[in-house]
Structure 1
Amino acid sequence: MTTPAGAQELRVFDVTAPDQDTPLTTLLPGERGTAAVWSSDRGGVAVSVEASAGGGAETQFSALRVVDTPTRSIREIARLSDGDRFVPVGWDRGAQLVGACIAAPDGTAVAYDVVGEDAQSARTPMEPGIAASSVQSNGSAVLAIVNGTVVRVWTIGSYGDHRELGARPDERIAFARWKPGGTGIVVSIADRLEVWPSQGGDHRLVASGLPAAADLLVSTDGAIAVLSFDSGRSAVAVDLASGRAAAVPMAGERVLAAISFRG
């Protein structure tokens, strides 16, 4: 939640009662939150925190912290002070491991860090061509788009043991999102929407003839994908089973950010 000093409060909102919220933690003065992801059991949140604007160069940092939602306890498990920043990817509570990208100032993922809840860290360099914003987790597995041509898949705890799913050489992958309820990946590629098995295999065409997508959201039941176009000024909902598409009514509005909720 943003305050005049920046994003300093972490709160959980009930979508059935949006006027009610549960505060989890408030950051220290001079800090601001940059990203947060739920743990695999929905009982915790991994967050990244950095120095707020106006701090001197000697105070700049990026920290990775974990918040236990029942107790509201917060612990820092890793910190950077070289100008790069953490982007939390997932927290596997069963394995007691947090996965995070380390992103350069330009948003490029430069390393993947596996940090235990005991703060023990194992860092692996990532190849050029991976945007940190493309890295997505389904709770136990992670995917990322490499150079617009490959979807790479690995577990939260092991970047080195990965699998690559390729597009045709003349086509570029715009977005890839996990399909909840299974191991499929919803992929926006060229003018098509497809579902790719994360274990490899045939790609299933869902819809074609689509404009270039600006973003892709998959509903938490895995039934619907919503693609936005024209910088969020239009959107279409696609049934992932039948391929039927319907325009999302817009009346001058603009989709700035898409979120979905677990039912």
Structure 2
Amino acid sequence: MGTTTPAPAHAVVFDDRFAVLVGNTVRRESGPEPLFVLGIASDSGGVVSPDGRRLAYWANGDLRIIDVAPGAQPRTLLAIAGNEGALYFAWSTDGTGLVVGVNGGGGGFADAPPGYTALRVVDVAGGTPREIARIRNANVVPLAWDRQARLIAAYEPTAGGTYRYDVVSESGTVKQTTPGSSLYFLEASHDAQLVFGRIDLPTSAVRVWPVGSYELAADLAVPAGENVLAVAWRPGTAEIGVLFTDRLELWNASGARRTFALPPAPPSSDRYTSLVFRADGKAALVGRQLNTSTETFDTYTVAIDLATGRNTVVQWPGPASEPGRSVRLGP
């Protein structure tokens, strides 16, 4: 395992072509100074497109998108009918469309799945949404949509992990696989080639598999006695960021690992720690929530350049441990 020794904390690792979206405010990577505010509610949430230039989000049952730019106006792509509901969606790998899991036909006991989940796709350019498949008695969460391979990856979560992992072709064929062990926090790589999930029993590991072949899954073991704080795909690569208290490791499905040491942090709770990669995959932001007094909190963020290992610390005011979502401003 290779270890990258960080340069002094004042080393500059920020890139002005990128920023962070916190709520509806776009800020510089280097600090809390706002650049502009998007014309959406501050609690809109949403998912940033693979290129970092657009945000998709829900607003009163409408799925909308907005360019990450000053003065941009949102557009509605899809409206959910009153007898249906939806929460989860995923961008296509090329950023030209979205796949949405729409639930309907509910009933039964309190924890019963909906009567169906309809996987519907819609183009960012507009047009009528198209239903790909309707999966009965299941709550299906889309993970990724590979438009070139014409495949959608999804899963069916339960309180105990994952009931089934699903691969759906654009022609409507559904392949469902039962994992056979507890599997949590599934996430697809940005190119929709790989998926990971976390397992805790019999040992703690990150399980990785090709999108179309769960049977080829491999378990990447977590070192004994270590506590994983966050896991995320690094954009543009087949590497997985695995965050520990004192370091960030990049794991490859082949087994290769790289380590980036983190500077000692002020006292904080590991429970409020997050990992975000820049949209181009060249830097990582590790956020921690600090209790600076009995009533106030600050966010302590370490930015790491993944080519050199240089890092620098930014202390942003506010209670959110999430450093924000990376967005692209320049070419």
The TM-score bracket by the shorter chain reads 0.7 to 0.9
Deviation, 1:19, is 3.1
Q: Within the alignment, does 1:251 sit opposite 2:317 as a pair?
A: yes
Matched with 2:132 is 77
Deviation, 1:242, is 3.1
Matched with 1:24 is 77
Deviation, 1:256, is 5.8
Deviation, 1:155, is 1.9
The secondary structure found in structure 2 opposite 1:70 is: coil
Q: Within the alignment, does 1:197 sit opposite 2:262 as a pair?
A: no
- RMSD over aligned CA atoms reads 2.7
- Aligned partners of 1:257 and 1:45: how far apart in 2? 25
- Aligned partners of 1:111 and 1:65: how far apart in 2? 19
Matched with 1:223 is 282
- Aligned partners of 1:73 and 1:187: how far apart in 2? 40
Query: Which runs of no fewer than 5 residues in structure 1 stay unpaired?
Result: none
- Aligned partners of 1:256 and 1:30: how far apart in 2? 34
Which structure 2 residues correspond to residues 145-224 of structure 1 after superposition, within 5 A?
A: 145-147=198-200, 149-201=204-256, 203-208=257-262, 209=264, 212=270, 214-224=273-283
Deviation, 1:34, is 1.0
The secondary structure found in structure 2 opposite 1:217 is: strand
Deviation, 1:100, is 0.1
- Aligned partners of 1:18 and 1:255: how far apart in 2? 28
Query: Deviations for 1:221-253, whole angstroms, at most 9, x for unmatched residues?
Result: 112211222399524122223333333332234
Matched with 2:14 is none
| 8 A contact 1:98–1:115 mirrored in 2 | yes
- Aligned partners of 1:136 and 1:18: how far apart in 2? 32
- Scaled by the length of structure 2, what TM-score is found? 0.68
- Aligned partners of 2:300 and 2:82: how far apart in 1? 39
Amino-acid identity (%): 31
Pick closer, same or farther for the CA change 1:174–1:128 going to 2, 3 Å: farther
| 8 A contact 1:206–1:242 mirrored in 2 | no
> May I ask how many residue pairs the two structures share in their alignment?
253
Q: Which has the higher contact order (CA 8 A, sep 6+)?
A: 2
- Aligned partners of 1:195 and 1:56: how far apart in 2? 41
Deviation, 1:218, is 0.7
Larger Rg: 2
Pick closer, same or farther for the CA change 1:156–1:165 going to 2, 3 Å: same
Q: Within the alignment, does 1:57 sit opposite 2:107 as a pair?
A: yes
Among 177, 181, 189, the alignment partner of 1:124 is: 177
- Aligned partners of 1:219 and 1:151: how far apart in 2? 22
Which structure 2 residues correspond to residues 234-245 of structure 1 after superposition, within 5 A?
A: 234-236=299-301, 237-245=303-311
Deviation, 1:191, is 2.9
Deviation, 1:124, is 0.4
Among 150, 158, 164, the alignment partner of 1:96 is: 150
Q: Within the alignment, does 1:135 sit opposite 2:187 as a pair?
A: yes
Query: Deviations for 1:118-174, whole angstroms, at most 9, x for unmatched residues?
Result: 11101001233321x342322222222222722222222221122222221222333
The secondary structure found in structure 2 opposite 1:170 is: coil
Matched with 2:140 is 86
Runs of 4+ in structure 1 off by over 4 angstroms are: none
Query: Deviations for 1:155-205, whole angstroms, at most 9, x for unmatched residues?
Result: 22221122222221222333221212222221113432111123222x211
2:79 is matched by which residue type in structure 1?
Answer: T
Query: Which runs of no fewer than 5 residues in structure 2 stay unpaired?
Result: 1-56, 109-113, 291-296
| 8 A contact 1:216–1:227 mirrored in 2 | yes
Flag the structure with higher strand content.
1
Pick closer, same or farther for the CA change 1:44–1:68 going to 2, 3 Å: same
The secondary structure found in structure 1 opposite 2:326 is: coil
| 8 A contact 2:274–2:321 mirrored in 1 | no
The secondary structure found in structure 1 opposite 2:129 is: strand
